[in-house]
Structure 1
Amino acid sequence: MTDIQIGFAGIAILLILIAFRVPIALALISVSFVGTSVLVSPKAAWGVLGVIPYNFTATWHLSSIPMFVLMGFFCYHAGLTTGLFKAARMWLSALPGGLAVAGVLGCAGFAAVTGSSIACAAAMGRIATPEMLRYRYDEGLATGTIAAAGTIGALIPPSILFILYGIIAQVQVSQLFLAGSVIGLITVIAYTLVIVIRVKLNPALAPAVEEHVGWGERLAALREVWPVLVLVFGVFGGLFAGIFTPTEAGGVGAAMSLMIALVRRSITLKGIWISLVETLTISSAIFIIAVGASMLTRFFIFSGVSDAIAESVLSLGISPILLILAITLLYLVLGMFLEPIGAMLLTLPILLPLVEGAGIELLWFGVLAAKLLEIGMITPPIGLNVFVLKGVMGDRISIGTIFSGVTYFILADLIIIAVMIAFPGIVLFTQNLLQ
């Protein structure tokens, strides 16, 4: 077999292992190790296994990942985000489907301190969904809203997807954060329109909330969201103003969230310990997948498979728009079966040479990829956010009801993707804002 044939065989074996539910990190590392052994030598494979994990994880920029994760867990265990939905409900309950709209805004606010879709869906599912059901909201609307709105967590800073993509693709993380915020805001508006229009057309989906809320109560509710506002403006205001780097922003965010929790006396030593343990668990899982992807990239370099694919595709004269449409379809399919970080790290070694060769702007592609992968979090058969909501609700609501509820939001997401492809300037205009 030639080197390129061995490379393609490695891709096939990798897909088979993933299909058999082998953990993606183990599949990436094992295929890369065996492939390098065959292509070069077992000694070289052991050398790669010894060098790559250290070289990759010792990257200074990666330290922002555990720091942002820690910030999110501090906020969660200290209850700093619990007032988000209450405040949104106080101000928006008069709108058609106001509680569902409040759930979307609550997820957006929670995303600003976690950067995790699953965390958003789990936390707001416990807070917002029971409240909507108490007011006799349609079960599909109540659960589908939160499952879909949880995907905003990967678009609004601090997005773990953007940090990893920025490091691998050599794109400024701060620019990805800013561009992602724009698409995150568009997503919030689109989801809000979906809810309002649906309820306008069918008021039975969300009966009007008979609740008279005075201005005093509304202003009092706003006081409960000050921890999140302080964090967002302190951390990301400083980041976008150039006061500190994305790496430093993670440390600042973790320190600020802990200080706010201690000032409010809302976190215990046990809560701090649990936050640290959960941060180590999540960060380790992310890092080992990233190490596997880095080893896979080295295997592809040895085999020449990435360059071969790029040259073959580009030699066909396929236009950039057709290439993007093919990648869009690929990510929508992968998103049905793989979690976003694994899917992104699995595909970037092959897709980045294609995208660069076609002259596509990497900043725009990174935001598009994040949006596409997050759609996969709510698409059947394995929409992770949907199953998170199912776990929160137990036997009260069927999985089919939740999948039915997210359908309208998936359609809104596909429209956003079409707009991004047709008008890339809605992402790229942010390039000049940080220069």
Structure 2
Amino acid sequence: MDGSTLALLGFAALFLLLFFRMSVGLSMMIVGAVGIYMVRPAASLPVVAGEIFGEASSYSLTILPLFILMGNLAGISGMSRDLYDAAHGWFGHLKGGLASATIVGCAGFSALSGSSLAAALTMGRVSLPEMQRYKYDNGLATGAIAAGGTLGILIPPSAGFVVYAILTEESIGRLFMAGVLPGLLLTCLFILAIWIVVHRSPEKAPQSVEPAPMRHRLASLRRASWIISIIGLTIGGIYTGVFSAVEAAGVGAFLALIASFARRSITWESLREVITSTLKSTGMVFLILFGAFVFKTFIGFTGVTYSLTLWVEGLGLSGFQVVVAILIMFMLLGTFMEGFAILVLTVPLVQPILEALGVDLIWFGVLMVIVLEMALISPPVGVNVFVVKSIAPDVKLNTIFRGIWPFWFAMLAAVILILTIPGIALVLPNGMFG
């Protein structure tokens, strides 16, 4: 059978399995193993076993459980609440300030957890009651939580960047540094979106919180100093070269554990719950990676990536034009596929094309992660929207989806800015690594 035909059949089988709700990792592993057998029967078992063992023993992957552990500890220790309280104290009295404080809180928590779902769930439980108390529009309140949570896969440490780095064999440290300025840019664009919404429709944020006295603001900053210090130490340590990204994860997890005990906010029962949750999340991500590498090997055996590269070169398109076309394709896929699935399914296809055109994969990785953030809130399958729905059962799903559109367009603006000014993503990694 022709390699391209076999690859198309493989993708069709994969989408069929996903349609029947089989997990992404297991689906890719099954299709990849069968596909490899059809191309090279004798190589099937050794290749599948080798790929799984190679990834399972990868030193770089130890970063995932460490950062997941750090985020879980921050959640149960109350550090996330302290972070929101600090943001509330400084921004809460402004028009739409509670929604802006939610965005800032999500951004800060994202710098510990690396997970969009954890950021939306944790900060949503803290911020939603406050916004409802002050009669905020449900669409604005839930939209801010859903969108703010997406910062978890952009602001380092980011699980999205780790998976992208493993798939493309790029530097995790470079990708982390590349996500810092775009993460801050997107945070500011989200706050700008809130400002525009409340100035066009003041009734969506009808009541302002009384300005907190300066001593209260400073006190809230002191209470949040644990989480701020851990964030500064891990990200600053990577940038200054004191330790690698993996070492930063270990340092951050250790400090989060020390902080939890020092604050007397952890029990043996909650510690057991944290460890169990970390193991479950890590196992899920590892299964996806194992399947992705088996499927990636199958796609390589078919030769379809080489054929696609020749076809794109024959069109005479520039690297920039191809990147724009790929990002548009990702936006469309995001309306019916989960972002993580898009990442692991498409990177093996587009990477050879981009490399042949000389596209910087660090720059493209930042753009891709922002587009995957858009998928997290895009109807009808935006995962973060359903996470927010779980903590706001009285709010209609249509109301939440209606509230995310200003933030979706803010993400689109960030993509356009980074497309036209690549230095936003590249200045820090280039300054650090050369």
User: Is the TM value for this pair above 0.5?
Assistant: yes
The answer to whether structure 1 residue 205 and structure 2 residue 204 are counterparts is yes
2:29·2:295 contact (CA, 8 Å) conserved in 1?
yes
Aligned partners of 1:95 and 1:196 also within 8 Å: no
2:193 equivalent to 1:188 = no
Counterparts in 2 of 1:290 and 1:120: CA distance versus 1, 3 Å: same
Counterpart check, 1:97 vs 2:110? no
Distance in 2 between the 1:333 and 1:66 partners? 31
Q: Is the 8 A contact 1:68 1:253 kept in 2?
A: yes
The answer to whether structure 1 residue 379 and structure 2 residue 378 are counterparts is: yes
Inter-partner Cα distance in structure 2 for 1:264 and 1:274 = 18
The residue type paired with residue 249 of structure 2 is G
Contact 1:336 1:383 in 2 (8 A): yes
Describe the SS at the equivalent of 2:170.
coil
Q: Aligned-pair distance for 1:318? A: 2.0
Q: Once the 2 structures are TM-superposed, how far is the Cα of residue 152 of structure 1 from its aligned partner? A: 0.7
Per the TM alignment, residue 20 of structure 1 is displaced from its structure 2 partner at its CA by 3.2
> Is the Cα contact below 8 Å between 2:147 and 2:407 reproduced in 1?
yes
Aligned to 1:397: 395
**Where does residue 47 of structure 1 map in the other structure?**
46
Q: Please name the residue that 1:260 is paired with.
A: 259
Tell whether the 8 Å contact from 1:94 to 1:208 is kept in structure 2 after alignment.
no
Aligned to 2:22: 22
Structure 1 residue ranges (4+ consecutive) displaced by more than 3 angstroms after TM superposition: none
Q: Deviations over 1:291-324 (max 9, x none)?
A: 1110111111211111111221222212223211
**1:122-143 CA-partner distances (Å, limit 9, x unpaired):** 1111111111011011110011
Query: What's the CA shift string for 1:216-248, capped at 9, x where partnerless?
Result: 211111122111111112222111111111111
Does residue 1:388 correspond to 2:378, yes or no? no
Map of 1:271 onto structure 2: 270
Equivalent pair of 2:82/2:224 in contact (CA under 8 Å): yes
Alignment of 1:283-362 (within 5 A): 283-362=282-361
2:86 alignment counterpart: 87
2:411 to 410, 413, 416: 413
SS in 1 for 2:317: coil
- CA deviations 1:243-284 (Å, max 9, x no partner) are 111111111111110011111111111111111111110011
SS at match of 1:82: helix
Distance 2:211 2:362 in 1: 46
Task: After TM superposition, give the deviation of residue 7 of structure 1 in Å.
Answer: 2.1
**CA distance 1:61–1:37, change in 2 (3 Å):** same
Residue of structure 2 in register with 1:7 after alignment: 7
Q: Which runs of 5+ in 1 are unaligned?
A: none
Q: Kindly state the Cα deviation for residue 210 of structure 1 after the two structures are TM-superposed.
A: 4.5
Q: Deviations over 1:2-36 (max 9, x none)?
A: 23321222122222322333221121011111111
Q: What is the rounded CA distance, in whole Å, between the counterparts of 1:210 and 1:330 in structure 2?
A: 43
In structure 2, the CA distance between the partners of 1:210 and 1:352, relative to structure 1 (3 Å rule), is closer
CA distance in 2, matches of 1:426, 1:212: 34
Q: What is the rounded CA distance, in whole Å, between the counterparts of 1:393 and 1:251 in structure 2?
A: 35
Aligned alpha-carbon RMSD (Å): 1.3
What amino acid maps onto 2:2 in structure 1?
A: T
Instruction: Return the letter of the residue paired with 2:254.
Output: A
Q: Distance in 2 between matches of 1:143 and 1:149?
A: 10
Q: Find the aligned partners of 2:178 and 2:3 in 1 and give their Cα distance.
A: 39
Gaps of 5+ in 2: none
Cα distance in 1 for partners of 2:319, 2:238 equals: 33
- Aligned pairs for 1:169-180 (under 5 A) are 169-180=168-179
Larger CA deviation: 219-228 vs 347-356: 219-228
2 CA distance for matches of 1:176 and 1:224? 31
Q: Alpha-carbon deviation of 1:84?
A: 1.3
Write the deviation string for residues 341-392 of structure 1: whole angstroms up to 9, x where unpaired: 2221111110100111111111100101100001100000000110001010
Other-structure match for 2:243? 244
Aligned mates of 2:209, 2:161 — CA distance in 1: 42
Moved more, 319-328 or 275-284: 319-328
User: Which of 421, 424, 428 is the equivalent residue of 1:423?
Assistant: 421
Shift of 1:212: 4.5
CA–CA separation in structure 1 for the residues paired with 2:237 and 2:76? 25
Larger CA deviation: 356-365 vs 308-317: 308-317
Identity of matched residues, %: 37
CA contact (8 A) 1:78 1:271 kept: no
Please give the secondary structure, in 2, of the residue aligned with 1:315.
helix
The letter of the residue matching 2:16 is I
Contact 1:8 1:305 in 2 (8 A): no
Q: Size of the alignment, in residue pairs?
A: 433
Question: How far did residue 169 of structure 1 move?
Answer: 1.7
SS of equivalent to 1:118: helix
Secondary structure of the corresponding residue to residue 81 of structure 1:
helix
Q: Retained in 1: the 8 A contact 2:170–2:362?
A: yes
Residue 188 of structure 1: how far off its partner (Å): 0.7
